[in-house]
Amino acid sequence: MTLWLGILTTVVVLEALLIVGLLRSHGLILRRLHELGAGIGDPAERDADQREVAFVTRPGVPEPRRDVGFADATDIVGTGPDGSVSVIRVTDVDHDSLLAFLSSGCATCSAFFEAFADLDALTLPPGTRLVIVTKGPEAESPAVIAERAPKGVVLVMSSEAWEQYRVPGSPYFVYVDGPTGRIRGEGTGMSWEQVAGLLAQATGDLRFVSRQAAARRTKPLSDAERERQIDEELIRAGILPGDPSLYPGEAPRGGADEA
Partner 1 sequence: MSEIQLSAHGITTRLPRGWEGRIRRRDPQLGGPGERGKPQFHPEERTYPIAHFANFPLPADVADYGSGAVELMTRSNLFIVLLEFGPESVGKALFATQGLPRNLSPDLFTPNQLQRTIRGQGGYQTFFTEAGRPFCLFIALGSYANRAALIRKANAVLAATTITPR
Provide the 10 A C-beta neighbour count for residue 49.
6
Task: Choose between 121 and 146: whose C-beta lies nearer to partner 1.
Answer: 146
Q: Least distance from C-beta 131 to partner 1, angstroms?
A: 9
Size of site (CB under 8 A) for partner 1: 29
C-alpha triplet 11, 13, 14: angle, nearest 5°: 65
CB of 84 to partner 1, least distance (A): 3
Identity of the residue, 61 or 145, whose beta carbon is nearer to partner 1 in the bound complex = 145
Give the H or E element holding residue 114.
helix 107-115
* 66: phi then psi, degrees, rounded to nearest 5: -80, -25
Q: How far is the CB of 219 from partner 1 (least distance, A)?
A: 33
Evaluate whether 133 touches 63 at the Cβ level (below 8 Å). Answer: no
* Nearer Cβ to partner 1 (131/199): 131
**Interface characters, 67-96, with partner 1 (x: CB under 8 A):** -------xx-x--xxxxxxxxxx-xxx-x-
Report how far residue 58's alpha carbon sits from residue 186's, in angstroms, rounded to the nearest whole number: 18
Task: Please report how close the Cβ of residue 152 comes to partner 1 at its closest, in angstroms.
Answer: 5
Q: Which residues pair with 77 in a beta bridge?
A: 87
**Closest CB to partner 1 among residues 123, 128:** 128
Report 121-180 residues binding partner 1 (CB under 8 A): 129, 142-143, 146-147, 149-155
Query: Which residues, other chains included, contact 50 with Cβ-Cβ below 8 Å and sequence gap of 6+?
Result: 35
- Phi, psi dihedrals of residue 77, rounded to the nearest 5°: -120, 130
Report in angstroms how near the CB of residue 77 gets to partner 1 at its nearest.
6
Instruction: Convert residues 17-56 into a mask of x (bound to partner 1 by CB under 8 A) and - (unbound).
Output: ----------------------------------------
**C-alpha distances out from residue 199 to 68, 91, 143, Å:** 18, 19, 31
Q: Is 77 in a helix, a strand, or coil?
A: strand
Note every long-range contact of 201-204, with CB atoms under 8 Å and residues 24 or more positions apart, other chains counting.
202/175, 203/175, 204/256
Q: Smallest distance, Å, CB 177 to partner 1?
A: 15
Residue closer to partner 1 (CB basis): 46 or 95: 95
* Nearer residue to partner 1 within complex by CB, 63 or 160: 160
Chain contacts with partner 1 (rule: CB under 8 A): 74-75, 77, 80-89, 91-93, 95, 129, 142-143, 146-147, 149-155
